[in-house]
Amino acid sequence: MLGESRIKKGSGIVIKEGNSLSSSVNLIAGIDAGSTETRVCLADATDAELFANESRVKEALQALGKVYTIPSTYATTMDNREIIPASQNIEDNYDSTIMMVRVSAEHPMVTRHRVLRGKKMRDATGLVARYLDSSTNKSDNPIFYINIIDALGYAIMHKYNGAIPRTVNVQMVLSVRPKEQTSICRDRMIENIIGQFIFSWKNTSITLNIQSIDFTTEPEAQVFGTTTICDLKYTENPDTGESFKELADRLSNSRTYIHIEGGGSSIGVEVVRDGQLVDSCSSTFQLGGNYLCQIFIDRVRESIGRTVSVDAANEALVTTLLRDGRDTIDVNGIVADCKNQLALDIVERLRHNVIDLNHWLSLQDVEFITLGGRLFRQDKRGNTISTYLREYIQQISPNTDVIVLTENCIPQGNLVIGLNADNESATA
């Protein structure tokens, strides 16, 4: 076809409308409800058999690799206007309705919402984008709950595309920031999540019965997911998987290490001692991707006197090139300076708000610091916060290493934690 090479085809994933005749499905869901993306990993009884069978390692890895993702930013509208999609691909058709049927909260965070995301949100006029911020607890924010229910609905449609069940019973494992592990926050989330919801998309409707919920911190789930996947990769191919075994062994056998999970709105810090999280050291700091973006915007204004949009800033932090009409401006030096500043900010918070507050801990006690999340990824020129962070850490403690965990394994970690808990309850 003429011009076919110029057509942007997107993911190519098209959801077939309608439900199957299946009455219900039981699922365990591992969820990472971040400020940039909401990620879901699902397992039913068939998937659980894979993880229980040591001879099916390759299939287990494939199951853990199926992570369903939606953008966390959305807009809502009260009307039923038609918004014509750019294509039939799912990413051009994020237009759902979610409705709370029953929860125990006196004032539910979720009621009834038509939710638009991605291109549908941008193509509609008069809408206000809504996104998670770093200053509000997720447990107090309706955006958090809407993202969870919406992401579950889309994940189920992906998993069962062509035979989507009408009713799904869900056992959920959910990651939250370390500071949100208090009983007050947990109770509020339980009251607003456990219950019944209806997810509708075009002619498809799914009743979600959320029966239980367990909580992890984001750093905890990331480390657990990483060690699980590394162990599976080594088991699948011991000849080429030695590096995966070494990483899993370091995480499992270390006397003391620190994990920092860098998200869009904040970073979470956990200290792991003898394989156990130290609750007194769990901390959350507002030093995530949004903070880095603001540093960049301020530096550009100071350096070249130009106002930069958030979208342009986020793009430049990846490409190190700032759009300027038909041309681009090389801002590699500014990007590097911003990442250097953020690394120094993280080290200072770590020293004064985590280590100094615990008399039994010094930085020299820490064997290594692991970094997870997109915040610590390299840009196109190779700049990364981890390089500067390592430099500052080793000025204080030369033998403390810094390790970057390149994959986001939070939803997989939560899923495996949920599967293990389900197996223990079944055998008890």
The string of DSSP letters for 372-394 reads ESGGGS--TT---HHHHHHHHHH
Distance, CA of 413 to chain centre: 11
3-state secondary structure at position 68: strand
For residue 48, the model assigns a pLDDT of 85
Given a cut of 50, whether residue 163 has pLDDT beyond it is yes
CATH topology of domain 221-291+314-405: Nucleotidyltransferase; domain 5 (3.30.420)
pLDDT in tens, 103-147: 999 999 999 999 999 988 888 878 888 988 877 889 999 999 999
For residue 217, the model assigns a pLDDT of 87
pLDDT in tens, 69-82: 999 999 999 888 88
The string of DSSP letters for 324-359 reads ETTEEEE-HHHHHHHHHHHHHHHHHHHIIIIITT-T
Q: Indicate if 221-291+314-405 has the same CATH topology as 10-217+411-427.
A: yes
Given a cut of 80, whether residue 402 has pLDDT beyond it is yes
Sign of CA pseudo-dihedral 400, 406, 408, 412: negative
Given a cut of 60, whether residue 235 has pLDDT beyond it is yes
Domain borders along the chain are 10-217+411-427, 221-291+314-405
Beta bridge partners of 26: 169
Q: How far apart are CA 177 and CA 282, in angstroms?
A: 9
Q: Which residues contact 175 (CB under 8 A, 6 or more apart)?
A: 31, 32, 33, 215, 216, 217, 218, 220, 221, 410, 414
Please measure the distance between the N-terminal and C-terminal CA atoms of the chain and give it in whole angstroms: 61
pLDDT-based confidence at residue 200 (cuts at 50, 70, 90): very high
Average pLDDT over residues 55-70: 89
Instruction: Tell me which of 198-207, 262-271, 330-339 is least confident.
Output: 262-271
Sheet holding 195-201, edge to edge: 67-71, 37-43, 25-33, 167-176, 204-217, 195-201, 95-103, 112-116, 75-77
pLDDT-based confidence at residue 9 (cuts at 50, 70, 90): low
For residue 188, the model assigns a pLDDT of 96
Given a cut of 50, whether residue 6 has pLDDT beyond it is no
Residue type, 141: N
Share of the chain above pLDDT 90, in %: 57
**Between residues 357 and 354, which one has the greater pLDDT?**
354
β-strand pairing of 37-43 with 67-71? antiparallel
Q: Percentage helix, strand, coil, to 5, in the chain?
A: 45, 25, 30
Could you name the CATH architecture of 10-217+411-427?
2-Layer Sandwich (3.30)
Average pLDDT over residues 209-233: 92
Residue type, 136: T
pLDDT-based confidence at residue 397 (cuts at 50, 70, 90): very high
The pTM of this model reads 0.88
For residue 425, the model assigns a pLDDT of 67
Given a cut of 90, whether residue 412 has pLDDT beyond it is yes
β-strand pairing of 167-176 with 25-33? parallel
Q: How far apart are CA 119 and CA 133, in angstroms?
A: 22
For residue 57, the model assigns a pLDDT of 84
Give me the residue label for tokens 């599976």: 232
Q: How far apart are CA 282 and CA 304, in angstroms?
A: 39
pLDDT-based confidence at residue 56 (cuts at 50, 70, 90): confident
pLDDT-based confidence at residue 98 (cuts at 50, 70, 90): very high
CB-count exposure of residue 65 (10 Å: 0-12, 13-18, 19+): exposed
For residue 391, the model assigns a pLDDT of 95
- Taking each helix axis as running N to C, give the angle between helix 57-64 and helix 45-52, from 0 to 180 degrees, rounded to the nearest 10: 130
Q: What element of type H or E holds 185?
A: helix 183-193
Average pLDDT over residues 175-200: 93
Beta bridge partners of 268: 261, 284
For residue 270, the model assigns a pLDDT of 87
β-strand pairing of 67-71 with 204-217? unpaired
Average pLDDT over residues 253-264: 89
Give me the residue label for tokens 């229910």: 149
Share of the chain above pLDDT 70, in %: 96
3-state secondary structure at position 22: coil
Q: Are 219 and 276 in contact (CB under 8 A)?
A: no
Average pLDDT over residues 215-238: 90
Q: How far apart are CA 133 and CA 130, in angstroms?
A: 9
3-state secondary structure at position 160: coil
Mean pLDDT of the chain: 89
Q: How far apart are CA 18 and CA 28, in angstroms?
A: 23
